[in-house]
Copies of this chain bind each other. A is one copy, B any other.
């Protein structure tokens, strides 16, 4: 071979191997270290045919909390921001609704009154702002809100405040034959509006809290109506219940960030074989938020205390993540 040709070939091979090396890092936003190494080792173990910890694709299920795990949850749960905006729109359209104290508090940004109404008040707010319409009408309202609402601190659309390292993790798991599921305390029909587009998670793999619904005919056309009655709260001990109800299987990997995810992590990691339990710790006030034991939203106390003895991994957003959010869309 001509010397110049050989040189060019060598160069090409080097370039190609460089590309290959870059391609083999499926988690570029995760810094190298113990956390990333353990995630990679877990996936390697359960996908190795004939290996001691091999898991068939049908049982390769990973569950993710949403608020605080896949996207931010400060200064308040994004769905609460939706409920407040929705209250304003409803009261503007129909002023007599301000006779309801919870709707009034939300519509006037009276957070003290809203907090004072307690869990009962918040459930009432959800029932009033999230129900009484058909599933298709509700989805359209959520879609419109997501398109126009902006996060107060960053000014970005809420669906851009998702965690880039977690998007990579979802894609990496799916590329390795996992089914990725969302198991959220948030409303299932709120989540399903954007889960497929934003996370690549189809609506049939989203579990969440729900209101009761009713099938009926309207002008001869069948609709499903959202009733003002809570059907299921997918939080704390409700998470394993929801997982069992919807999939009838125990996941092998669980990702959460608050004590609302404790039982989901406990249930997942108590199964036999290789298991992965991960808690995202919000310790990055510069790039996101820093909070844990004392936070009103996404309180993390027991999980932080018991992660070590339970062999759950705690992810430091500050130290383990190269970046937090994806690039802004133009």
Please list the residues of chain A having a beta carbon within 8 angstroms of any beta carbon in chain B: 58, 61, 135, 179, 188-189, 192, 196, 202-206, 210, 213-216, 221-222, 224, 231, 237-238, 240-241, 244-249, 263, 266-267, 270
> Distance in Å from the Cβ of A174 to the closest Cβ of chain B?
13
Q: In the bound complex, do residue A270 and residue B221 qualify as a contact, i.e. CB atoms below 8 Å apart?
A: yes
B237:A267 contact, CB within 8 angstroms: no
Question: Are A58 and B196 interface neighbours, CB within 8 A?
Answer: yes
Apart from A214-B237, A222-B263, list 17 A-B contacts with CB within 8 A: A58-B202, A179-B204, A188-B245, A188-B248, A189-B248, A203-B247, A204-B247, A204-B248, A214-B241, A215-B237, A215-B238, A215-B263, A215-B267, A222-B240, A224-B241, A224-B244, A246-B246
Q: Which residues of B contact A204 (CB under 8 A)?
A: 61, 179, 205, 246-249
- Can you spell out 16 A-B residue pairs with CB atoms less than 8 angstroms apart? A58-B202, A61-B204, A189-B248, A192-B248, A204-B247, A204-B249, A206-B248, A210-B245, A213-B241, A213-B245, A215-B263, A221-B270, A222-B267, A224-B241, A224-B244, A246-B246
In the A-B complex, list the 7 residue pairs whose CB atoms are closest, starting with the nearest. A203-B248, A204-B247, A215-B237, A192-B248, A215-B240, A224-B244, A222-B270
What is the total number of copies of this protein in its complex?
A: 2
- Provide the bound-state CA to CA distance between A179 and B203, in Å: 13
- Contact, CB under 8 Å: A213 / B266: no
List, in ascending order, chain B residues with CB within 8 A of A213's CB. Answer: 241, 244-245
Across the interface, name the chain B residue whose C-beta is closest to A195: B248
